[in-house]
Structure 1
Amino acid sequence: MTKPITVWLTPPGPNPWKVITILEELQVPYVIHSFKFDDVKKPPFIDINPNGRVPAIVDPNTNLLLWESGAIIQYLEEVYDTDNKLTYDSLNEKHLLNQYLHFQMSGQGPYFGQCGWFNALHSEKLPSAIDRYVKEDHRLLGVLNTVLEDKTWLVGDKCTFADLAFLPWNTRLDMALLTPPGEDPLAPYPNVQAWQKRMESRASWKKVLEVRSKLMDEQGLQPNGIPKGIKTFQEYEEHIASANEAKK
């Protein structure tokens, strides 16, 4: 009998939910060790991952402790996706899947993250940095829109781990770009928009949203990651500025 994998995570960030989505898709049992983002650089988590980034997993079935979401996804696929539900075993497709996973890890994740940081979280507004990362986000979306032309999925004829790796960050794009309420930041990229909606309709993602919402609520956070009681991004920026001033 498969023992549950422990997943260490802080609920607000997108990266852990890539891993949880894959676990849900493959129906691998897991338990979540949820903690606050403020503690990501402190013990006991720093003893799990010296880099102080989530997620990390501990798999009692193989006695493996592993961090970096891309590496975890590849591990889960190799060990637990024995029916190739989210992958292919043919040479070309295997490497194409890894190509897109690396694109997500080196492109989408870092650039969406930096855009969100400089747009909403950084204590000082730096127009040159904001301009750089906003443009990079749109460039990356343009690449995906081109790749997905006349295609349902990135590789082959089914949803794979490569597709799902992009899912959580795409759901946070409005926060990164500070998209006005009611607007879809993916609307200018119809292929990406349709692809995203296909992934969001999957049972695994609906379960992820339920789990994430519960963990966010436990930490006094709204589903969008903003503390309860704060209604707008402007209020959130003011809250962050006040907190940074108090630390000085």
Structure 2
Amino acid sequence: MSHGKHFTLYSHFGGPNGWKVAHVLEELNLTYETVFLKFDKNEHKGPEFTRLNPNGRIPALIDHRNNDFVLWESDAILLYVVDKYDTEKKLSVTDEKERYQLIQWLFFQASGQAPYFGQFRWFAKVHSEKIPSAVERYKNEILRVFGVLDGVLSKQQWLVGNKLTVADLSFVVWNYGAKIDLKEHDAGYNVEKDFPALAAWNAKLEALPSVTKILAQRTAMLKQ
């Protein structure tokens, strides 16, 4: 593979966490090449990838301008990218307390949003056995997380520092997918009615040119 690009991003066409990294790279105008692993061929568990990420999950990022430095875990990648390359602080903060708040939201996204949203999709759409109690549990977790975000965003425009940061961008893809999954599960579900501040924040994020581009790419790949 040519290393003409700044980064190589290992991702999957359906996996939200790889696209989450792409949002930030796009917003910072950093050049990258994406390698989409084929999960049906178990490429994410093969030796070529596990030498980069021993956990065998996407994403992983190689920084070719830093001696091919490799990093995995999506929110760790986001922090690395902004710490090293967001010199204008477009998506990061300078105040020490706000930095820890930013990290706080990334931890919440990684532990409180993504796992539960992913489990809802699994039990509602993929799992071979229908387990209504599991679907209900994880649906309620989505609504709980939406409620946390809505409560905060009803008082402020952005999560940290009164500006767009990687904290906000980290939630985009999972929220986008959850809205679709909930609508398919319950046609009467209305995020705008139940969580208006969250819905307005989502709309602002999805209207960003970088986000619009990435969401369109992902949607096109999912349809292939």
Q: TM-score normalised to the size of structure 1?
A: 0.82
Cα distance in 1 between the residues matched to 2:132 and 2:187: 22
Q: Which amino acid aligns with 1:195?
A: W
Cα distance in 2 between the residues matched to 1:185 and 1:100: 21
Are residue 203 (structure 1) and residue 205 (structure 2) matched? no
Q: Say which structure is richer in helix.
A: 2
Aligned counterpart for 1:18 among listed residues 12, 15, 20: 20
Closer, same or farther: CA 55–82 of 1 in aligned 2, 3 Å: same
Are residue 165 (structure 1) and residue 167 (structure 2) matched? no
Aligned counterpart for 2:74 among listed residues 64, 69, 80: 69
What does residue 151 of structure 1 align with?
156
Contact 2:5 2:33 in 1 (8 A): no
Cα displacement (A) at 1:212: 2.7
Aligned counterpart for 1:57 among listed residues 61, 70, 95: 61
Aligned counterpart for 2:119 among listed residues 105, 114, 118: 114
Are residue 45 (structure 1) and residue 49 (structure 2) matched? yes
Cα displacement (A) at 1:150: 2.6
Cα displacement (A) at 1:41: 2.0
Cα distance in 1 between the residues matched to 2:104 and 2:20: 17
Cα distance in 1 between the residues matched to 2:140 and 2:148: 12
Cα displacement (A) at 1:149: 1.2
SS state of the match for residue 33, structure 2? strand
Q: TM-score normalised to the size of structure 2?
A: 0.90
Q: Which amino acid aligns with 2:17?
A: N
Cα displacement (A) at 1:213: 4.2
What does residue 34 of structure 1 align with?
36
Runs of 4+ in 1 over 6 A off after TM superposition: none
Closer, same or farther: CA 157–174 of 1 in aligned 2, 3 Å: closer
Cα displacement (A) at 1:196: 0.2
Cα RMSD, aligned residues only: 1.8
Q: Which amino acid aligns with 1:71?
A: A
What does residue 134 of structure 2 align with?
129
SS state of the match for residue 102, structure 1? helix
SS state of the match for residue 194, structure 1? helix
Cα distance in 2 between the residues matched to 1:93 and 1:184: 32
Cα distance in 1 between the residues matched to 2:56 and 2:79: 20
What does residue 194 of structure 2 align with?
188
Closer, same or farther: CA 210–100 of 1 in aligned 2, 3 Å: same
